[in-house]
Amino acid sequence: MTPDEKLSLADKLYRTKYEPDPGHPHVTVDAASLKKAKTRKILKACPAGVYTKDPNDPEKVAVSHENCLECGTCRQAGADEGVEWKQPDGGKGVKYRYG
């Protein structure tokens, strides 16, 4: 096993830096569409754990934009669940520290 394979998700996410764009999130979740969804694929599909159940209301999904790797997995897995992902404006979004 390589040293990188031994790292936790949090350690791997530390290798990225996110430059937020206040007031202009690049990921949004339509609560009504998500509530109608039979499954919540986005909770398991995102490799960075951006989407989690809201601890205050399990019917809602909390979105942690700062973890987003901009891989687009949620665009595929969550398209029918009310997830909208768009490319962040220039100079914003993920910036890799290593690699």
Taking 70 as the threshold, does the pLDDT of residue 99 lie above it? no
pLDDT tens sequence across 11-20: 777 777 777 7
Q: Is residue 3 over pLDDT 70? A: no
DSSP symbol at 63: E
| Residue range 3-96, CATH number | 3.30.70.20
Whole-model pTM? Answer: 0.72
CB 69, CB 94: distance < 8 Å: yes
pLDDT in tens, 49-75: 888 988 898 888 888 877 788 888 988
Q: Is the pLDDT of residue 82 over 70?
A: yes
Domain positions in the chain: 3-96
Angle at CA of residue 13, ends 4 and 23, nearest 5°: 165
